[in-house]
Amino acid sequence: MHELSLAESLLLIIEDAAREQRFSRVKAVWLEIGQLACVEQQSLQFYFDAITRDSIAHEATLHIIVSPGQACCGVCNQLCSVETYHALCPHCGNYALKIIQGGEMRIKELEVE
Amino acid sequence: MCTTCGCGNGQTHINGKPVSTHHRADQSLRFRQPVHQHHDRGTIDFGNGIAGAHVPGISPSRMVKIERDILTNNNRSAQQNRSYFLQHGIFALNLVSSPGSGKTTLLVNTIQRLRNQFPIAVIEGDQQTDHDAARIRATGAPAVQINTGKGCHLDAHMIDRALQQLALPGNSLLFIENVGNLVCPSGFDLGEAHKVVILSVTEGEDKPLKYPDMFHAANLMLLNKCDLLPYVDFDIDAAIGYAHRVHPGLPVIQLSATQGDGMQTWCDWIAANCRRVAANADSMEASFQV
């Protein structure tokens, strides 16, 4: 359900940008969502469509770029890719990974008129 | 629920009174946060976008770079709350858990143990009713109830509104009891010093694996209802092990809010933090006076 709040925040940011950069219609939105971020993409798409109705982003296409999870092991200090928060270090086999990338939720770019 | 977009924010109440909704049905979408002042200046960038497909002259479209966190408005309010807490020596904890883990009972018994040491206040978050705030007020501590309607979490703006009603004295202890939900509150910074996640032994020991975001976001885990361990099939070592897979080194306190076991350790942790936060505020004030 918090995807509704995310969609609201997205529209706020878009409306702010519209005032500052003087555009009146948004055709496409690019987001970067980390693989480990607590976001359900289909749910975000649903709420984005609902919340942007009657707004400058009505019928805008939502593009979601997934950034991969990355972690650094607290024991062996090596970097690795992770798909979950509870992953083993593939190098030393310990549960000691510190996540360094993959929780992002960013709006990157808009195509506007 | 709002009939225009299906959102639940139109049902947000604080102490039973409606708060401003994020839009009105007779207007185009309008949101609750004021227009902010510190927007990063974007760059107008024709054709260099992620799409990489724009051809100037073919259509009037252009690409606008934004590069901002989606929760940027919430995070700004959270930072304002955090500055307020720091300045006034207020130690704020955000208590998160499933419904039924015993958060309110824990708070009532914690307040009774600490009320002679610090001014204590509580912000209660629930979808409906003010039952929890009434239980807190019965201890003598002030409480503000936020009803989120259909909303599944508290956000920093709601806390700001509640703080205006509470008018906390300096060097207070503030508990924020979030909506019972192990998913959504994990992503929303309220300005608290720490998220404290509560797991009770009547739940499954694998919850840290099932709901990893919350256990990753928390700085302290309380294992509650430990007096019931002889009667339930709960492997306490497995639960802590799972929590440590998700969050290596996460401190854990085992306690029973009703029977009192472990409560002293929890209260000592709170008291030490309260004194540290109050001392920091005093030294900040002293440095301003110099």
**Residue among B24, B70, B157 with most chain A CBs within 10 A, to mutate:** B70
* Chain position carrying tokens 């802590």: B240
The C-alpha atoms of residue B52 and residue B60 are separated, in whole angstroms, by: 15
pLDDT, residue B6, reads: 41
The C-alpha atoms of residue B111 and residue B151 are separated, in whole angstroms, by: 27
pLDDT category at B1 given cuts 50, 70, 90 is very low
Both tokens of A106, joined, read: 């960013």
* ipTM of the shown complex: 0.89
* Chain position carrying tokens 């007020």: B137
Q: Would you say residue B57 has pLDDT above 80? A: no
Percent of residues, chain A, with pLDDT higher than 70: 99
Per-position DSSP letters for B65-98, written without gaps between them: EEEEETTHHHHHHHHHHHHHHHHTT-EEEEEEE-
Which residues in A lie closer than 8 A to residue B8 (C-beta atoms)? 1, 4
pLDDT, residue B59, reads: 62
Which residues in A lie closer than 8 A to residue B180 (C-beta atoms)? none
Whether the CB of A77 is below 8 Å from some CB of chain B: the reply is no
Whether the CB of A60 is below 8 Å from some CB of chain B: the reply is no
The C-alpha atoms of residue B8 and residue A37 are separated, in whole angstroms, by: 22
The C-alpha atoms of residue A36 and residue B214 are separated, in whole angstroms, by: 12
Q: Give the nearest partner residue to B72 out of A1, A13, A98, using CB atoms.
A: A13
Q: Would you say residue B47 has pLDDT above 70? A: no
pLDDT, residue B285, reads: 83
Report the amino acid identity of residue B147. Answer: N
pLDDT, residue B51, reads: 38
pLDDT digits (tens, 9 = 90+) for A4-27: 999 999 999 999 999 999 999 999
Q: Would you say residue B28 has pLDDT above 90? A: no
Taking alpha carbons only, the member of B172, B241, B249 closest to residue B209 is B241
What residues pair up with B18 in beta bridges, in sequence order?
B13
Question: Quick check: B162 and B84 in contact, CB under 8 A?
Answer: no
Taking alpha carbons only, the member of B114, B117, B154 closest to residue B13 is B154
Averaged confidence pLDDT in chain A: 95
What residues pair up with B94 in beta bridges, in sequence order?
B176, B195
Strands A69-73 and A97-101: antiparallel
Which residues in A lie closer than 8 A to residue B73 (C-beta atoms)? 9, 12-13
* Chain position carrying tokens 């940011």: A13
Strands A105-112 and A26-34: antiparallel
Q: Would you say residue B27 has pLDDT above 60? A: no
H or E element: which one contains B181? none
pLDDT digits (tens, 9 = 90+) for B162-197: 999 999 999 999 999 999 999 999 999 999 999 999
Interface A-B, measured as beta-carbon pairs within 8 A, has a size of 156
Which residues in A lie closer than 8 A to residue B212 (C-beta atoms)? 84-86
pLDDT digits (tens, 9 = 90+) for A77-99: 999 999 999 999 999 999 999 99
Q: Which residue of B has its CA nearest to A111?
A: B63
* Contact yes or no for A16 and B36 at CB 8 A: yes
Averaged confidence pLDDT in chain B: 85
Q: Would you say residue B142 has pLDDT above 80? A: yes
CATH superfamily for B73-283 is P-loop containing nucleotide triphosphate hydrolases (3.40.50.300)
Phi, psi of B249 (to 5 degrees): 80, 5
Identify the sign of the CA torsion B204, B206, B208, B209: negative
Q: Would you say residue B2 has pLDDT above 60? A: no
When the candidates are 3.30.710.10, 3.30.2320.50, 3.30.1360.40, 3.30.70.1230, the CATH number that belongs to A2-68+102-112 is: 3.30.2320.50
Domain boundaries, chain A: 2-68+102-112
Whether the CB of A91 is below 8 Å from some CB of chain B: the reply is no
Taking alpha carbons only, the member of B170, B177, B167, B172 closest to residue B123 is B177
Q: Would you say residue B41 has pLDDT above 70? A: no
Distance to chain B for A43, nearest Cα, Å: 13
Q: Which residue of A has its CA nearest to B187?
A: A38
* Chain position carrying tokens 């960013």: A106
pLDDT, residue B148, reads: 92
